[in-house]
Amino acid sequence: MTPNSGLLAVRDVSLSFGGTAALTDVSFDVQEGEILAIIGPNGAGKTSMLNCISGFYRPQEGGIFFKSADLTKTPTHKIAPLGIARTFQNIALYTGLSTLDNIMAARHIHMRQRSVESMLYWGRAQREEVEHREVVEGIIDFLEIAHIRKSIVGALPYGLRKRVELGRALALESDLLLLDEPMTGMNVEEKEDMARFVLDIHEQRGVTVVLIEHDMGLVMDISDRVVVLDFGVKIAEGLPDEIKNDPQVIQAYLGEV
């Protein structure tokens, strides 16, 4: 049943809200180990695509296949354990928790302690807290956010919150990482840091990355392949150089300006 080819296969996905079609017959593959960028003008359906993959939206038609599971039929909370992590365009951190606890919270799926063990804080529960704390401290060091590890994230500046959210996604140790505009709203320096982190994650951890980004220069620099959406339709797919010169893509972007 699973159409082979790649880690993730999006097949004929259509999603609409009432009258508006957010996605129409979108199909593409994500190859294992690549960085795939999804680009397109505002309202093109990029976030909707990620939401379908992570089970937040349910497309009316089509299927999304990941490791022989159809994600469109998988309960939302069972998608992360399959090996999919994500960040959000508008940042969806646990605002009342510290940086450390936000990232610890993402270790949930890797912990085995039952709720009763949590209550007694005995044996496995205590051991796990220590083990997973070490993993989390590693992520904190990697992202250079040690200075804010005890800060409540709700009060952090935007750029740092984005970084904490990346850390939380990393803590899932997923095979596929979905990043929704990780660099938007940042200054040049922060953007460069973020791009470096994404490349390092990709290289050191062998994570496959799907990235939504508006900054064309960045997209061309870091992605292996690009998928272009416009009004919910895939209008192009290919190598960054091909996309740059694709007349339809130029048209879509010029049409917007």
Partner 1 sequence: MSVLRKRWQYVVLFVGLAALFLLPAYSSESTVSFVNRVLIAIVAVQGLNILTGYTGQISLGQAAFMTVGGYASTLLVTQLGWNFFFALPVAALSAGVVGLIFGLPSLRVKGFYLVMATLSAQFIIPWITRNIYGDILHGAQGLNVPVPIIKLPVINNLCFFGTQFDGELGACVYRFATSDQFIHISLVVVILSTIVAHNISRSRLGRALVSIRDNDLAAELLGIDPFAYKLKAFFIAAVFAGAAGAMLAHNLRHINSVTVNLTDSILFMGMLVVGGLGTSLGPIFGATLVILLEEIATVMSPWVISVLPDNAAGATAALRPLIFGLALIVFLIFEPRGLAHRWKLTKAAWRMRPFSR
Ligand X SMILES: Nc1ncnc2c1ncn2[C@@H]1O[C@H](COP(=O)(O)OP(=O)(O)OP(=O)(O)O)[C@@H](O)[C@H]1O
- Positions touching ligand X (CB under 6 A) are 17, 20, 22, 40, 42-48, 89
Question: Which CB, 47 or 72, lies closer to Mg ion?
Answer: 47
- Check residue 47 for interaction with Mg ion (CB under 5 A): yes
Question: Which CB, 26 or 207, lies closer to ligand X?
Answer: 26
Among 113, 148, 161, 209, binds partner 1 (CB under 8 A): 113
For residue 228, what are the β-bridge partners? 39, 236
Residue 37, SS3 per DSSP: strand
Name which of residues 168 to 207 contact partner 1 (CB under 8 A): 168, 172
Closest CA relative to residue 26, chosen from 229, 191, 190, 167: 229
Which residue in the block uniquely carries the two structure tokens 């972007």?
A: 253
**The entry of Mg ion, partner 1, ligand X, none that residue 248 binds, CB within 5 to 8 Å by partner kind:** none
Tokens of 94: 């646990």
Quote the CA–CA distance of 234 and 38 in Å, as a whole number: 10
Binding segment for Mg ion among 87-95, 111-119, 165-173, 195-203 (CB under 5 A)? 87-95
- In the complex, minimum distance from the CB of residue 232 to ligand X, in angstroms, rounded to a whole number: 7
Question: Which CB, 48 or 174, lies closer to ligand X?
Answer: 48
- Check residue 94 for interaction with partner 1 (CB under 8 A): yes
Question: Which CB, 44 or 170, lies closer to ligand X?
Answer: 44
Question: Which CB, 24 or 174, lies closer to partner 1?
Answer: 174
The DSSP element (H or E) to which 126 belongs, if any, is helix 124-142
- 154-158: long-range contacts (C-beta < 8 A, 24 or more apart)? 154/93, 154/95, 154/96, 156/99, 158/91, 158/185, 158/186
User: Residue 68's Cα: distance from chain center in Å?
Assistant: 20
Q: How many helices (H) and strands (E) does the chain have?
A: 10, 10
Among 56, 142, 231, 253, binds partner 1 (CB under 8 A): 56
- In the complex, minimum distance from the CB of residue 253 to partner 1, in angstroms, rounded to a whole number: 30
- In the complex, minimum distance from the CB of residue 151 to partner 1, in angstroms, rounded to a whole number: 14
Name which of residues 121 to 160 contact partner 1 (CB under 8 A): 121, 125, 128-129
Q: Which amino acid is at 164?
A: V
Tokens of 206: 């062998």
Closest CA relative to residue 217, chosen from 240, 237, 239, 201: 240
Q: Quick check: 170 and 85 in contact, CB under 8 A?
A: yes
**The entry of Mg ion, ligand X, partner 1, none that residue 20 binds, CB within 5 to 8 Å by partner kind:** ligand X
Q: Quick check: 156 and 100 in contact, CB under 8 A?
A: no
User: Which stretches of the chain bind Mg ion, using CB under 5 A?
Assistant: 47, 89
Residues in the site for partner 1, rule: CB under 8 A? 54-56, 75-81, 85-86, 88, 92-97, 101, 104-109, 111, 113, 115, 117-121, 125, 128-129, 168, 172
